[in-house]
Amino acid sequence: MAGRRVNVNVGVLGHIDSGKTALARALSTTASTAAFDKQPQSRERGITLDLGFSCFSVPLPARLRPAPLGAEPEPEPGAEPRLQVTLVDCPGHASLIRTIIGGAQIIDLMMLVIDVTKGMQTQSAECLVIGQIACQKLVVVLNKTDLLPEGKRQAAIDKMTKKMQKTLENTKFRGAPIIPVAARPGGPDAPETEAPQGIPELIELLTSQISIPRRDPSGPFLMSVDHCFSIKGQGTVMTGTILSGSVSLGDSVEIPTLKVVRKVKSMQMFHTPVTSAVQGDRLGICVTQFDPKLLERGLVCAPESLHTVHAALVSVEKIPYFRGSLQTKAKFHITVGHETVMGRVMFFSPAPDSFDHEPVLDSFDFSQEYLFQEQYLCPGSVPAETDRGEADSRVGQASEGRCPRQQWALVEFEKPVTCPRLCLVIGSRLDADIHANTCRLAFHGVLLHGLEDKNYAESALPTLRVYKLKHKHGIVERVMDDYSVIGRSLFKKETNIQLFVGLKVHLSTGELGVIASAFGQSGKFKVHVPGGLSPESKKILTPALKKRGRAGRGEEAEQPEPVQHVALSLSFKRYIFDTHKRMVQSP
């Protein structure tokens, strides 16, 4: 019986044609020919190599042996534990983002493959961005060193190494190891007899960098399936990687996109039958009475643990390499769970007095009030003014460099998605020119709350207390008596002033007034001042008091203005999703 195995997942990322697949193949082949494992390499690879999965194993390093070893069966005395390295190769860029996000919870180390003759390219940079979001450790592989002129090879490698060190300086991967290799000397048309260069050293480096990740068997079972096929006389086999939780023989599992539940008939890890498996393990599950053509890739989970959502509340962060602003109402490609769909976003932040509160990344509080934003706030962002002097409350906030520590987005999907709660979300502009030297990844975040009701706009959004803070400014035209003034320039002629009756206004002279009624048909209005006008205010408004004219009611054709204008300001909240569109003022 073979010794127990610890599975670690290594993502292989890089620009198109940087040699990722050749590197994965060279690692697996080298592992086989160097006798890292006694079993034939084909048994170790399973059937997923063509889909971007291959693996090699080495003896489990002594420094890692005290760590928990997952759910594999206990080995027989004398059986040597092994470190299984599963390579998650992302072959085409279209699938890169989906693959990495889908496996973000279980990718433990990332290999960034660079064509040493070209250096960093657009997709290399995007891979680095994804790595910073999804991974904790990085190894840079300078591939295709065989294409460098032999006499200048080492100098070129040293130069590229320095360039990469500088690139990594401002990332969390500063100081990451960089190693040169030639995964396929001579290129794809070269004879197979050409041996890869630098692969044993790379395996040694990977083994030294890998640490045993903490796997959590609790929580609902969730598995990313990358291949599905039938075995005559046994049933349908789904192979993939467990993203969360655990599974045991006889458990019921659900294919959520199809709403199909099946019982686990048998399971294998590394072609060895097992009775249970945990987060991070590569696994094959056999079920009966299921057509494999219905599921090529996707999710399998504990029954009813995943839900289909039509919209979601996401805690978001802008990716600093994305050029331009993130605007409310803009559409992005939203990668969530294992799907990428179009979605429209609305950004919002805490109320201004909560800008400095500690971010909360595991829940969303519907009891709090939130401030609507026309765009994601970041230093240097310029808020757009609204008409007639109205502006939302972030005017000044961003321009002063004061930005909230946490911001959110309401993401409304064009078609529903099936995903777990607290999963990673990335917003991208994948329709941008792939050859342009710009980052297409715009923001990333955590899905805090999914809205499952198709009619969420009526059933759920009214409970989301996002408001716009409106400011309107006008002036006192004249005084009617010690407790009343006439104001203008606060409303348009066509405004229904009756909606604003009862709202408080502030006079620039310090008094507090209340809008009492409309005054005529031109947008003027009467303000009642409960505490009365102060002597100083009366003095400022004296010209108007002396020359009121004889017409005591209605509008007067011409009225002399006060020597000094007294401003009126009206501030109120309007909740975005309030069906009654009420205006609310602080007590």
Q: Show the 3-state SS of 245-281.
A: CEEECCCEEEECCCCEEEECCEEEECCEECCEEECCC
Which residue in the block uniquely carries the two structure tokens 């190894």?
Answer: 139
Q: What is the pLDDT of residues 525-555, one digit of tens each?
A: 999 999 999 999 988 886 644 445 554 555 5
DSSP state of 182: B
Nearest to 108 by CA among 187, 199, 207: 207
Neighbouring residues of 185: CB distance < 8 A, sequence distance ≥ 6: 146, 194, 195, 196, 197
User: How many other C-beta atoms can be found within 10 angstroms of the C-beta atom of residue 449?
Assistant: 20
Q: Which two tokens stand for residue 164?
A: 């990469």
Kind of pairing between the strands at 5-14 and 82-89: parallel
At 472, the amino acid letter reads K
Neighbouring residues of 563: CB distance < 8 A, sequence distance ≥ 6: 540, 542, 543
Distance of CA 102 to the CA centre of its chain: 12
Question: What was the pLDDT predicted at 139?
Answer: 97
**Predicted TM-score (pTM) of this structure:** 0.80
Q: Is 154 helix (H, G, I), strand (E, B) or coil?
A: helix
DSSP state of 584: E
Give the residues of the chain that fall short of pLDDT 70.
1-4, 29-53, 66-79, 90-106, 188-190, 192-193, 270, 337, 380-401, 434-435, 542-563
Question: What was the pLDDT predicted at 439?
Answer: 84
Evaluate whether 104 touches 110 at the Cβ level (below 8 Å): no
Question: What is the dihedral sign for C-alpha 282, 284, 290, 292?
Answer: positive
Question: What was the pLDDT predicted at 440?
Answer: 86
Question: What was the pLDDT predicted at 349?
Answer: 96
Neighbouring residues of 28: CB distance < 8 A, sequence distance ≥ 6: 41, 44, 45, 49, 54, 55, 56, 87
DSSP string, 397-465: TTTTT---S-EEEEEEEEEEEEE-TT-EEEEE-TTS-TTSSS--EEEEEEEEEEE--TTHHHHTGGGS-
Q: What is the pLDDT of residues 423-471, one digit of tens each?
A: 899 999 888 776 677 888 999 999 999 999 999 999 999 999 999 999 9
Cα–Cα distance between 263 and 84 in angstroms, integer? 28
At 381, the amino acid letter reads S
